[in-house]
């Protein structure tokens, strides 16, 4: 395990060096600016969005669909008037994952924007246009994301009483979305994340810390740009009534690495359930509010977000004789 960890660590460091200094040029206003900053990740988790250290068993497959509705993630303040480049979004993230060797999990996520509304970058050239007419495409495809997750440590094999766990997730977003309509990046986004968590019967707690390193040009809106970022997540879930009721709280932070002059925090409450004896299906409903340290221009977390997610994940418990494989 130590050899695998060293190899993975060296790979991550090499990729960080490759990507870290490449976001220097600038695009036209709005191009390559992605409003979808909350990344859904595939596979099992004890939380709504923050990742757990758990991975799927060998050859097990997980499927999920997560719908999001959020408001006012991107805007411009010109004079005393606020123009919302993206005012509201309805998006569904479809994800799939497969387990390998009981330690590795490969997955992918495809965001599909089914409806969005906003004025785009039009107010920069015509600030008198205040009729609210949408200037961006109402539907679009987001960037396809790939995830490779490796579990380095778990205290024991009992899923519901596992104790501590450590994993590394390497995410890679490819520019397949519509970068001119705020649903895609201009280049590749490399996003490694360290996962630490703990599970003891009725209580789960976890934290994720990582970065998003952009290989493409910086996305620009007015006098602000988006470059390499630090990500951080913290979550707690109470598992009640044999997981028939899940109650959780999360916070997710996104901050610009250059000088930390822009950061946004989402505070999220969640309620969920895992009905049935197998606990293979999980349903989560969340609501969150965003807090940013800067308002001008508005380039941070959305002011509010609601999500509804359905996940199928086969249960995996080496300590149980009736485990599902």
pLDDT tens string 122-181: 777 754 554 545 578 788 899 999 999 999 999 988 878 889 999 999 999 999 888 778
Question: 57-71, 125-139, 283-297: lowest mean pLDDT where?
Answer: 125-139
SS3 98: strand
Mean of per-residue pLDDT scores for the chain:
83
pTM attached to this predicted model: 0.83
Q: Mean of the pLDDT values across residues 212-229?
A: 81
The pLDDT of residue 220: 75
Question: 66-75, 78-87, 285-294, 307-316: lowest mean pLDDT where?
Answer: 78-87
Q: Which residue has the higher pLDDT, 123 or 92?
A: 92
The pLDDT of residue 325: 27
The pLDDT of residue 2: 52
**C-alpha 138: how far from chain center:** 22
The pLDDT of residue 140: 87
Residue 28: pLDDT over 70: no
The pLDDT of residue 227: 86
The vertex-254 CA angle with 249 and 260, nearest 5°, equals 135
The pLDDT of residue 157: 82
- Calculate the CA dihedral of residues 214, 219, 224, 227 and round it to 10 degrees: 0
C-alpha to C-alpha distance for 219 and 36, rounded to whole angstroms = 14
Residue 311: pLDDT over 60: yes
Q: pLDDT band at 22, cuts 50/70/90?
A: very low
What one-character DSSP code corresponds to residue 195? E
Give tens-digit pLDDT for 232-269. Answer: 999 999 999 999 999 999 999 999 888 777 888 999 99
End-to-end CA distance of the chain: 24
> Could you tell me where the beta strands, DSSP code E, fall in the chain?
26-29, 61-78, 81-100, 104-117, 140-141, 144-154, 163-174, 189-200, 203-214, 218-221, 224-226, 229-240, 245-256, 263-273, 281-292, 298-299, 304-312
Which residue in 254, 237, 258 sits closest to 291, CA to CA? 254
Residue 286: pLDDT over 50: yes
The pLDDT of residue 26: 40
The pLDDT of residue 69: 97
Q: Mean of the pLDDT values across residues 212-227?
A: 80
Question: 78-87, 108-117, 227-236: lowest mean pLDDT where?
Answer: 78-87
Q: Mean of the pLDDT values across residues 16-24?
A: 41
CB hemisphere CA count around 101 (13 angstroms): 7
**Cβ partners under 8 Å of residue 2, min gap 6:** none
Identify whether the C-beta of residue 163 lies closer than 8 Å to the C-beta of residue 156: yes
SS3 234: strand
**C-alpha 254: how far from chain center:** 10
Kindly state the tokens that stand for 79. Answer: 């004079």
Kindly state the tokens that stand for 276. Answer: 């049935």
Domains defined for the chain, CATH in brackets: 2-312 (2.40.160.40)
């Amino acid at each position: 395990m130590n050899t695998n960890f060293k190899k993975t660590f060296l790979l991550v460091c090499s990729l960080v060096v490759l990507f870290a200094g490449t976001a220097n040029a600038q695009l036209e206003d709005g191009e390559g600016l992605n409003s979808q900053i909350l990344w859904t990740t595939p596979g099992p988790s004890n939380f709504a969005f923050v990742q757990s250290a758990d991975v799927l068993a060998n050859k097990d497959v997980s499927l999920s669909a997560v719908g999001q509705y959020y408001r006012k993630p991107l805007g411009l303040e010109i004079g005393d008037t606020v123009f919302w480049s993206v005012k509201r979004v309805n998006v569904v993230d479809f994800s799939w994952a497969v387990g390998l060797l009981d330690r590795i999990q490969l997955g992918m996520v495809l965001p599909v924007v089914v409806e969005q509304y906003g004025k785009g970058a039009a107010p920069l050239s015509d600030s008198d246009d205040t009729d609210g007419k949408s200037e961006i495409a109402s539907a679009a495809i987001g960037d396809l994301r790939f995830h490779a997750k490796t579990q380095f440590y778990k205290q024991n094999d009992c899923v519901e009483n596992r104790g501590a766990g450590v994993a590394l997730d390497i995410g890679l977003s490819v520019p397949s979305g519509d970068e001119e309509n705020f649903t895609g990046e201009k280049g590749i986004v490399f996003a490694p994340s360290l996962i630490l968590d703990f599970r003891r019967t009725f209580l789960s707690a976890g934290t994720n810390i990582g970065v998003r390193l952009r290989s493409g040009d910086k996305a620009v809106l007015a006098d602000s740009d988006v470059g390499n970022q630090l990500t951080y997540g913290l979550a707690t879930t109470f598992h009640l009534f044999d997981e028939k009721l899940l109650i959780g709280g999360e916070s997710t932070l996104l901050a610009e690495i250059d000088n930390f002059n822009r950061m946004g925090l989402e505070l999220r409450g969640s309620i969920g359930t895992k009905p049935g004896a197998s606990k293979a299906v999980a349903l989560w409903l969340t609501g969150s509010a965003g807090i940013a340290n800067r308002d001008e221009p508005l380039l941070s977390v959305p002011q509010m977000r609601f999500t509804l997610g359905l996940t199928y994940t086969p249960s995996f418990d080496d300590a149980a004789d009736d485990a599902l494989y």
